[in-house]
Structure 1
């Protein structure tokens, strides 16, 4: 409980100092607005993209829900299935799991992003998830197309009358993020000529796929353990070096493949803070979040940060 309260307090600190959200004055959903000054409660919804197609894609969606949480509330106490979506439009993060994994296993990070004012849509990839009947590692090469299929579905969903998410998605403000094979999937979504809807990416314990980072240029954040035995840090560093445009590399010396994604473990607070700052900067145009990214990301002896071409 103490760790949960600390994380809730961290989220309050992350969203502090920004302009207040614009309140709805009638039944219409307000247009896109500045980053929220307080955390939200978190709702969760499950849907399936192309359920009758050859490659159905189950998706877990976490989203900001009403009411905003009090400062001492925990994310778990605030969460609820199919809770009403909070008023306003919210940027969207497509989050990709790794091999033998599931979206729910990443909830400690993704629910906190949702509390900070993002809709997080996490697909269960058909042939690499934990329960896949025909598990195939090579299917990762097909997953970037799945990510784009999800983006197109969400754009349509936002315009669909009576859908609970309709009018709540900032459909010109997407980011992609993912861990391990999901990090490679994320990189693979940034191929030449990709839609400008995709504004930013976070690659956690991953690297690049063929054709990654070819443009248009988008800011990228790489997160990697220095002693990762599954995907060596050198793979993540090579992807960082190969990317063009603004980029940052958050290193965790001595850490492995993802223990820093567990609340209470060394580095979790810095990863949460840095990724949230990055998303607020790139999707909400929050310059204060950009300016505090370095201070939030670095804890001597736990994390390091290398940056390239970040605007000041």
Structure 2
């Protein structure tokens, strides 16, 4: 869960690209009232107009600012990034979903992004992440440009790492922060969970549930899950497609993805990638990013991240097409 720094902006290596769809990209601010936080979001959507690449930070994204939204109402997928990440860390997943007819919105979590980790280890993030995604959904449905094109009965969520934890919160799981003591007794060397945060989690003055009944399905990758027990995960009454990295040294599978797999009542599919490390779920890196951020970008020799992402992204499209096929009743 190493912070994703954007000091590498401009290191994009332009390469030959496949044929593009006409995807639009828009930028919005999200305000979450319970924690009083404001943060940016990126929305990618089916559009009409020219198909081009746009350089956003260190990424080359298959979308163009300012294009009109394609006619009709489209299902929506909300993306939550990992600890210290960014709204564009899964841009290839986003554009693949948009190519398939979805609108995709990705938030940059206040207090837990590459720019700001001031809320790390506090309820402002541990609960606020879910409230922030719900606030983004509120904003999108009310947006005069995007709202009329969203099918409010067909909404899903996708998340990686702490974003996978966020997805489970939104789908009904309730965290128990007292579970950290037992985990840290067993894994005292876990720096981020057991060493680098205060022993007592800072509370928020006001609280509310984190579940959002408008969200009907979740695509969850390598979730942070030590705060969930079996009973809590049994509360997730929605289909979940679950991915794990079986050589994950950041979020040990035995304490995170595997207990989630075993407890979810509506597990749709589980795929464990043998030999893969935690960061394999981030978008493939260009050579400049790989040189600057090897921990995030380099995989073991037997792991082909680009090929894996072709499978992951295709799985996400098929999963959401099936689970969001009809409006909720």
The normalised TM-score by structure 2 is 0.66
1:224 CA displacement = 1.2
CA distance in 2, matches of 1:260, 1:74: 22
Question: 1:271 offset after TM fit, Å?
Answer: 0.8
Match of 1:305 in 2: none
Q: Hey, what does 2:162 align to over in structure 1? A: 181
Structure-2 change in CA distance of 1:44 and 1:95 (3 Å): same
Structure 2 unmatched runs, 5+: 1-13, 55-59, 174-208, 285-303
Show the 5 A alignment for 1:2-151: 4-5=17-18, 40-50=21-31, 54-67=36-49, 79-132=63-116, 134-138=118-122, 139-151=125-137
| CA distance 1:104–1:236, change in 2 (3 Å) | same
Q: Secondary structure at the match of 1:249?
A: strand
Distance in 2, matches of 1:241 and 1:3, equals 42
Q: Structure 1 residues 123-132 or 232-241, which shifts more? A: 232-241
Query: Per-residue displacement from partner, 1:214-253 (whole Å, max 9, x unpaired)?
Result: 5462110111111011112231121121111242111110
Which of 224, 232, 241 pairs up with 1:221?
A: 241
**Alignment check: 8 A CA contact 2:79 2:159 kept:** yes
In structure 2, what is the equivalent of residue 306 of structure 1?
A: none
Displacement of 1:117 in angstroms is 1.1
CA distance in 2, matches of 1:65, 1:141: 34
- C-alpha displacement at 1:151, in angstroms? 2.0
Total equivalences in the alignment:
246
Deviation string 1:57-89 (CA, Å, 9 cap, x unpaired) is 3211111111597xxx98968520121100111
**Other-structure match for 2:57:** none
SS in structure 1 at match of 2:25: strand
**Are 1:230 and 2:250 matched, yes or no?**
yes
Where 2:134 maps in the other structure, the secondary structure is helix
2:172/2:237 contact within 8 Å kept:
no
Q: Which runs of 5+ in 1 are unaligned?
A: 9-38, 158-162, 286-312
Instruction: State the match for 1:274 in structure 2.
Output: 315
Name which of structure 1's ranges 269-278 and 195-204 shifts more when overlaid on structure 2.
195-204
For the 8 Å contact 1:178–1:185, the answer to whether it is kept is: yes
Cα-to-partner distance string for 1:158-197 (whole Å, 9 max, x where unaligned): xxxxx22131001111111111111111111112795542
> What residue in structure 2 maps to residue 206 of structure 1?
223
* Partner Cα distance (1:63, 1:207) in 2: 29
* Distance in 1 separating the partners of 2:139 and 2:61: 30
Aligned residue for 1:46, secondary structure, equals: strand
Aligned CA RMSD, in angstroms, stands at 2.9
Matched, 1:154 2:140: yes
Shift of 1:111: 1.7
Q: Give the TM-score of the pair, scaled to structure 1.
A: 0.70
- Structure 2 vs 1, CA of residues 212 and 97 (structure 1 numbering), >3 Å: closer, same or farther? farther
Q: Against the structure 1 CA distance between its residues 45 and 198, is the aligned structure 2 distance closer, same or farther, given a 3 Å change threshold?
A: same
- For 1:133 and 1:232, locate their aligned partners in 2 and report how far apart those are by CA, in whole Å: 22
Q: Take 1:106 and 1:132, find their aligned partners in 2: how far apart are those partners? A: 19
Instruction: Quote the Cα distance in structure 1 between the aligned partners of 2:24 and 2:264.
Output: 34
